[in-house]
Structure 1
């Protein structure tokens, strides 16, 4: 069983990125942070490693994607409430992020999306598991 998750993302300006995520309300784990990377704490044992390109390139032989031009992945975060979804996304936008999709409210599921300073896509969703319909794909 997996005990921790580390999502590695390249960032152009580590200090600006740290300022952005701090403004959104998140913290960093100094144990896994230095001048090359910052360990963004997303939850218990869930981290995004925000890594400068020169160091990121030591982990892969592939070209680093420019997330402002191409989609590499959509990073989805589960929130505890609709209000928390709005709080996180509103703070991200206020800190310089860009809303990428309007709020979607399906009653049992609510979500919004934004891009961070480097264009990485983040989807923040609240799911009321007690209200999930029998066939969620057919629910509106």
Structure 2
């Protein structure tokens, strides 16, 4: 069985979020998108995010919607193939309107930095010298 990871993120402005993530190099599948959703490919065939308008997201839950700019429940972590790829994605995120909540951290064997997207969701990018365990 081909397993995939698909996580859902509530966004205030779907088109602004689509433009932000397009600037980072992510692509969208129009077949799985609508006026209230955008299916984003992060790692083709394995990792995706469904960006949803806040109203649509609320229709799927029975408790209040957390506002990521005020409080965080999760940090989305993505591995990178190189330090250069990590630095490039951070630069693209900042240029597209995101912000970095902390400076890069270099531990020798591991290098990481994060960014906050337009809605306050936290993304952490990590490179390790020996790769990730499988």
**Which interval holds the TM-score relative to the shorter structure?**
over 0.9
| Cα displacement (A) at 1:2 | 6.8
**Which residue of structure 1 lines up, in the alignment, with residue 98 of structure 2?**
97
Equivalent position of 2:43 in the other structure: 43
CA–CA distance in 1 between the matches of 2:63 and 2:129? 39
What is the 5 A alignment of 1:1-140?
3-44=3-44, 45-129=46-130
Q: Secondary structure at the match of 1:77?
A: strand
Call closer, same or farther: CA 1:58–1:100 in 2, change over 3 Å.
Answer: same
The two structures have a TM-score, normalised by structure 2, of 0.92
Residues 61 and 2 of structure 1: is their aligned pair in 2 closer, same or farther, counting only changes over 3 Å?
Answer: farther
SS of 1:87's partner is helix
Instruction: Report the equivalent of 1:135.
Output: none
Counterpart secondary structure, 1:100: coil
Larger CA Rg, structure 1 vs 2: 1
Q: CA RMSD in A?
A: 1.5
Compare the two structures and name the one with the higher helix fraction: 1
Aligned residues: 131
Call closer, same or farther: CA 1:29–1:102 in 2, change over 3 Å: same
For residues 11-65 of structure 1, the C-alpha deviation after alignment (integer angstroms, 9 at most, x for no partner) is 0000000011111111111221111111111103210111001110122111111
Please name the residue that 1:133 is paired with.
none
Cα distance in 2 between the residues matched to 1:25 and 1:49? 16
Q: In structure 1, list runs of 5 or more residues that go unmatched.
A: 131-140
